[in-house]
Chain A
Amino acid sequence: MTGLSERLAQLGRFGLEHVQSIGRSGVFLFLAIFSRAGFSNRFSLLTHQLYSIGVLSLLIVIMSGLFIGMVLALQGYNILIRYGSEGAVGQMVALSLLREMGPVVTGLLFAGRAGSALTAEIGLMKTTEQLSSLEMIGVDPLKRIIAPRFWAGVIAMPLLAAIFSLVGILGAAMVGIDWLGIYEGSFWSSMQSSVRLVNDIGNGMIKSLVFGFVVTWISVYQGYDAVPTSEGVSRATTRTVVYSSMAILGLDFILTAVMFGDL
């Protein structure tokens, strides 16, 4: 009996700890976003972060988009040719890229490439006392370090997802039209007649915006909350990638159910 109640108490503690850490990260986010920056150079801080978060992620996003688009075209062609509807490859590729693959795969790549880098960078800043030293200089690290990184992530992610989808569709067109010999007109027209601006492109962008928000939030919080040792930073980096991936896949299901559930 005592064993059971102890288990229950343990479970409760575990739950409370997690609720507490969610609360802490929420307050953290609030402070980072809604505090007046008050730096004359906040624009250049944001630019720097857009560079390291967005521009440096471009290569991996473009390469992945290209290959995923090409693979989708090949697979779709192999299935659809059996029904003589290979013209629908364009439609299939475009819809799966815009609705799902674009936001989700870009989000996962973003978490692995930019999110882990953010966590490691902030965690190391904490380990080497740079964050404390900022505080003692009288600069709020939430404004100086966290806020620009957070906004850069939120801005960069939808742009990366759009580039991913476009490159994927172009890759599919390359494989489908030039290689597999799908009639170009039906490739594009089947796409155009089924892709809707608000429902497909718009919702895909909303998804990627949500993913960008969540991944960057997790990344900067994990870095800021990391135990200031080399092991702590490595753990935090791992947690960023794991939590971000789970969050992306879970949220994707919820968002898809809300956006496309009644179709």
Chain B
Amino acid sequence: MRMRTIEISVGGFMLAGVLALLVLALKVSGLSLDSSNKTYTVSAMFDNTGALKPRAKVVMAGVIIGRVTNIELDRHTYMAKVEMEINSKIDNLPLDSTASIVTAGLLGEKYVGVSIGGEVDYIKNGGRFEDTQSAVILEELIGKFLLGSVNKDDQ
């Protein structure tokens, strides 16, 4: 009888541990087990990604519609090529939509924001955002600002 309660509680403990790991993997790292959730791949070229990371969100109108899967430097154009997966349900992004790299808050995460264009044709799997806006680099901005004011003083 006592052995039984011990076995049950040990079983409960092991289950709780494995379950905790599972929840950590799913809820905390955002791993998706739901592979039926189909996506299509779109890329975009940026002058500067400003430390955008793989797995960053792709957001339209404040709603997450996809994730960044890969970032690499294009050898010929010296631009960053960002690949992302977009939810298949959102298959009506106009060809001239703009992808821009945005920061949540001053120090927050970087993500890709998509603003809608006006074309009738849509971006297909393997297509790319022609219109992009690079990340705003705080240091450059401050530098420009300082330089501008110095130049003003000279005049």
Residues of A within 8 A of B (CB): 44, 47-48, 50-51, 54-55, 58, 80, 83-85, 87-88, 91, 94, 98, 156, 158-160, 162-163, 165-167, 169, 186, 188-197, 200-201, 205
Contacts and interface: CB of A to CB of B under 8 A. Distances in A.
Contacts of A47: 6-7, 10
B9 to A, nearest CB: 5
Interface in B9-23: 9-10, 12-14, 16-18, 20-21, 23
A189 B64 contact: yes
B17 A162 contact: yes
Given A85-B105, A87-B105, A192-B28, A166 B23 contact: yes
A85 B108 contact: yes
Contact of B108 (A55, A162, A169, A190): A190
Main secondary structure of the interface of A (DSSP, over half): helix
Given A163-B20, A197-B31, 6 more contacts: A48-B6, A50-B10, A84-B106, A88-B108, A165-B20, A193-B109
B20 A194 contact: no
User: Which size class do B's interface residues fall under?
Assistant: 20 to 34
B117 to A, nearest CB: 25
A94 B107 CA distance: 17
A207 to B, nearest CB: 14
Interface of B: 3, 6-7, 9-10, 12-14, 16-18, 20-21, 23-25, 27-31, 53, 55-57, 64, 104-109, 111
22 contacts: A47-B7, A51-B10, A54-B14, A55-B9, A55-B12, A84-B107, A85-B104, A162-B17, A162-B21, A163-B16, A165-B20, A165-B24, A166-B24, A169-B24, A189-B57, A191-B30, A194-B53, A194-B109, A195-B28, A201-B21, A201-B28, A205-B21
